[in-house]
Copies of this chain bind each other. A is one copy, B any other.
Amino acid sequence: MANEENQQQEAEMEKLPVVLQLRPVPAIAPVEDRFLNKFRFLKAWESSMPMDLFLTTHSQSVRALLCSGITPVTADVLRCLPSLQCIVTASAGLNHIDLTECRSRGIAIANAGGCFSENSADYAIGLLLDVLRRISAADRYVRQGLWPTKGDYPLGSRLGGKRVGIVGLGHIGSEIAKRLVAFGCRISYNSRKKKSSVAFPFYSHVRDLAANSDALILCCALTNETHHIINRDVLLALGEQGVIINVGRGALIDEKELVQCLMQGEIGGAGLDVFENEPDVPKELLVLDNVVLSPHTAVLTPEALMSLHDLLMANLEAFFSNKPLVSEVKDE
């Protein structure tokens, strides 16, 4: 009887659309049950076969692939999957996917879209307020019992009226700008190209943006072009009172130069959610009061994970219903 039920269940499952996973997708592991009555996950890492054999074995049935932001989806992998038409990634960035191969094959890609944008924007504002108004530093001061003995804590600086330069005006940057407007900040930005739909002043060189800003917020993608986009020259242009916030990737900043500038007082302060060699943080920063250090938590909250699950599900359902993907990434 139990056996019969099992067989029936298995037969039902065989009818479900197949979704390939090359490696575990941590973001969905806790809620995999939600997906299992709609899709049949084919988990490459659970097979004893070598990867290429596994892929060629299933090559005809695999039309969709679900991956995390750290699963390489190389041209070699893609060549084993001639029927693949759709990749759904649980990340905002796409630098783990061979986009050239996808483009030439017409494989559609959907990403995490704006699921994390609001969280990242909130966190960027939190870090900026914290550095300017010295919230974490003042909290340490109170916890050390210094308020009654040493008196008032030195004043921080006001956010309103500050000139804030946003590096990368995509999903996250736009959300940051929306918030900063409510705080009375003056916004300008740098990005690959000027956006015609945006009225904020545009600077084509990040050094010029820095020279005309009291604070810089980094929220662009890490690419060959943006690696160490913030070098010593840019930091000196930002100046002694200037503050830098990074919710993008650690390697956007030349970290050694940043540490030097912070220690020498060549810039005013920094709020860093990301670092070049995470989870290692330069030890010089651990004792500075003009920095706020955060363990790469800007994007994640339980609420954002829920939105992500819904979005991944919606994309897969759309694909198998021949509808447009919900968060398809189109070529620019």
Which residues on A are within 8 Å of B, measured CB to CB?
118-119, 122-123, 125-127, 129-130, 133-136, 138-143, 145, 147-148, 151-153, 155-161, 178-179, 181-184, 278-281, 286-287, 292-297, 300-304
Assembly CA distance A78 to B214 (angstroms): 47
The contact sample of 20 A-B pairs, CB cut-off 8 A, is A119-B160, A122-B129, A122-B133, A122-B159, A122-B183, A126-B126, A133-B297, A135-B135, A138-B294, A142-B281, A142-B286, A142-B295, A143-B286, A145-B286, A147-B281, A152-B296, A155-B297, A155-B301, A160-B303, A182-B182
A155 — which chain B residues lie within 8 A by C-beta? 297, 300-302
A281 — which chain B residues lie within 8 A by C-beta? 142, 147
Assembly CA distance A157 to B136 (angstroms): 18
**Contact between A135 and B126 (Cβ–Cβ < 8 Å)?**
yes
**Contact between B157 and A302 (Cβ–Cβ < 8 Å)?**
yes
A138 — which chain B residues lie within 8 A by C-beta? 293-295, 297
* Nearest 10 A/B pairs, CB to CB: A126-B129, A182-B182, A158-B303, A142-B293, A158-B301, A147-B279, A136-B136, A148-B279, A147-B295, A136-B139
A129 — which chain B residues lie within 8 A by C-beta? 122-123, 125-126, 129
**Contact between B303 and A157 (Cβ–Cβ < 8 Å)?**
yes
Name the residue of chain B whose CB is nearest to the CB of A306: B158
